Structures are given as C-alpha cells and as structure tokens.
Structure 1
Amino acid sequence: MHGTALSGWLLVAVCTATGAYCLLRLRSDCARARSSAGGEAVMGFGMAAMAVPAAFAEPPSWLLAGYAGVFAAAALRAGWLARARENGGGHHLHHVIGSLAMVYMALAMSAPGGHTAHEGHPGAAGGVPLVTGALLVYYVGYVLTTGARLLPAAVTPRGGGTLAWRARPELTLACRLSMGIAMLAMLLAL
C-alpha cells in the first residue's frame, strides 16, 4: 500500500490484533457469533498482510493473485451465508462487500504501476476511481453507523454477571469499527 511506513505498520498492528480477537471469538457458545468471527478473522489477518509497507517487502504478483483468490473464496462463503437471514445475513453481506473490496485492492496493487504511481501517470496506482469512490462512501457510512452503535458503551451483561472476553459485544463492535477505519485507510492509500 502507499503511504508512510508508520501508517502501514499501524494498520498491520491494528488488523493483526483484530484478527486475533476474532479467533478468540470463534470459541463463543453462540453459533451466529462464530459464523461471523471466522470471516472477520480472515479479513483482519488479510488486511494486515496487505498493509505491510511496500518499502519493507514488495509482494510479488503471484502473492497478490493469491490474496485475490483467498478473498474471492471468502466472498463466496459470505454470500452463501448471507442468504440465510436468520443467521446474521445482513452482516454477511458486509463481509461480501469487504472481501470483494480486498479482491479489488489486490488486483489494483498487482496491475502495472500498482505500487507506485509513475511520473506522468498520476492515476496509475489508484484502481478505478468510481469503484474506489463507491467503496469509500460505503465504508464511511459503515464506520459512522458502527461508531454510533458503540457510543452507548453502558453495555451490561445479562443477569449482572461478567462476560468472557470472547463474548463482549462492545469489543466486537470496536473490532468491526477498527477494521472499517483500516479499510478506509487502505482505500485512501490505494
């Protein structure tokens, strides 16, 4: 991705931490939480891998094609799960959009000039402006709505007991918010 090395490493750290928490959520007792946690873990770790600054390790084109393949498969899985509305279908639609956005970014990065814009070709590295713009609008809306849902932080566990780390709804929302912000940063750096 373009941008400073510091912002790239911060994205790597945030996305890795989010992916790790999502792996922890896979142990939840709730099938719906486990269903979305797997897709979010793949997204978190995939975003971390793609956010590694190009100055540190410029990925070969075959690796970018691999990213595109993994996220295309993730989009198909999320689309399959989205058809079942009773199992969190709406959130799985978000996973479809996110996975397809990752495919788009991997393909844009693997295109000639995908890592650095050449002089005289300022738009060579940005993908298709209309697609990038649509994804930016979607993720701005997603970040704002997720952040608004997180604001009433007075989430109390049912029955007055304490919740395990893997079942904290406010942490799940915070992870989703941080991945949405990270996706915005990656799209802006494209």
Structure 2
Amino acid sequence: MHGPDAPAWLLVALCAATGAYCLLRMRSGVEEQRRAAGGEALMGFGMAVMAVPATVFAPPAWAWPLYAAVFGAAALRALWTARASAHHLHHVAGTSAMVYMALVMAAPPASAGHHAHGGSGVPVVTGAFLLYFTGYVLLSGARLLPAATAGQAGTLRWGDRPELARACRLSMGMGMVTMLLAV
C-alpha cells in the first residue's frame, strides 16, 4: 500500500482483527452468518496483507496476479451465491475491488519517481469503487444500532451478534475506502 507507514499498520491491525472476528462468526449456529462470515474473513485478511507498507515488505511480481486470481474466484463465488441473498452483491463489489487493486499493484510504475508498487489505477474505476464504498460506509454507519433487545443480548454468542457483524462490515468498508484512496 502507498502512503505513510503508521496509518498502514493501523489498517493492517483493523483488517486482521475484523478477519479474526469473522472466523469466530463462522462457528455460528445460524447458517446465513456462517456463509457470509467466510467471505468476510477472506476479505479482512486479504485487505490486511495488501495494506502492509511497501517499505516493510514488497511482494514478488507473481504475488499480485495470484492475489487477483484468488479474489477473482471469490468474486465468482459471491456472484453465484447472490442468487439467494442480495447481501452477496456487496461481496461481489468488495472482491472485485480487491481484484482491481491487485491488478493496479501488478502494473509497472508509471514513472521512475513513482511508488514501490505498481502504477496508479484507472480514475473512473477507482472513483466508482470509492463512490460505492463511501455510500456503503455511510449507510452502514447509520444502521449501526444494537439489533438485540436487552433480554437477548446476554443469550447471544459472540459469533451471533448482529451489531458486531455490522461493525466489522463497517470497518472493512472504511478500510476499502482508505485503500482505494491510496491506489
């Protein structure tokens, strides 16, 4: 990721923590929670890896096409599962943005004075993803109210807490906006 190291490490920590919580959600007793949590864990950990500052670790040239292939497969899976749940359309957008950013990072630098990773992205595509994820973050933030009543809150396991799942999705959305701004 381009930019200063301190914010990049904060983004790494945020995305890794989100990915870890999504792994916990995969143990949920609710089928839909488990199904969504797997893709969200992949996104969280993938974003954490992509956010590692280039000054610390510069992946080999073959890593970015592999990264694009993994998230391309995840995008196809999300597209397939979107038939049953509209929430998976968001997963299609997220995994597509990851493919886009990996391809941008794989591109050769535009000039000798450019960043350690690849060139800059296509402004229209970057802008479209930024617009989508900014809207998603604003909408998710507005919906971030506890869903459980006081009586239910004590009976729900950590992996089944809908407000925590929303908070993780909000965190990943903010992370995606941050990463797209750095492209």
Aligned partner of 1:91 in structure 2 is: 87
Alpha-carbon distance in structure 1 between the residues aligned to 2:147 and 2:125:
38
Map Cα deviations across residues 74-104 of structure 1 (whole Å, 9 max, x no partner): 00110110011xxxx2110000110010000
CA 160–107 in structure 1, closer or farther in 2 if over 3 Å, else same = closer
Q: How many residues align?
A: 181
Aligned partner of 1:156 in structure 2 is: 149
Q: Which amino acid aligns with 2:120?
A: G
Alpha-carbon distance in structure 1 between the residues aligned to 2:30 and 2:48:
27
8 Å contact 2:147–2:162 — kept in the other structure? no
Report the alpha carbon displacement of residue 159 of structure 1 after superposing the two structures with TM: 4.8
Identity %: 61
Report the alpha carbon displacement of residue 161 of structure 1 after superposing the two structures with TM: 4.1
Aligned partner of 2:135 in structure 1 is: 141
Map Cα deviations across residues 19-70 of structure 1 (whole Å, 9 max, x no partner): 0000000011111111100000000000001111000011112111111011
Aligned partner of 1:112 in structure 2 is: 108
Name the TM-score, length of structure 1 as normaliser.
0.90
Which consecutive segments of 4 or more residues in structure 1 shift more than 6 A? none
CA 34–158 in structure 1, closer or farther in 2 if over 3 Å, else same = farther
Find out whether 1:175 has 2:161 as its counterpart.
no
| Cα RMSD, aligned residues only | 1.9
Aligned partner of 1:128 in structure 2 is: 122
8 Å contact 1:101–1:135 — kept in the other structure? yes
Aligned partner of 1:52 in structure 2 is: 52
Q: Which amino acid aligns with 2:99?
A: V
Name the TM-score, length of structure 2 as normaliser.
0.93
Alpha-carbon distance in structure 1 between the residues aligned to 2:182 and 2:69:
22
Aligned partner of 1:40 in structure 2 is: 40
Q: Tell me, which stretches of 5 or more residues in structure 2 are unaligned?
A: none
Q: Tell me, which stretches of 5 or more residues in structure 1 are unaligned?
A: none
8 Å contact 1:157–1:163 — kept in the other structure? no
SS in 1 for 2:62: helix
Report the alpha carbon displacement of residue 163 of structure 1 after superposing the two structures with TM: 1.3
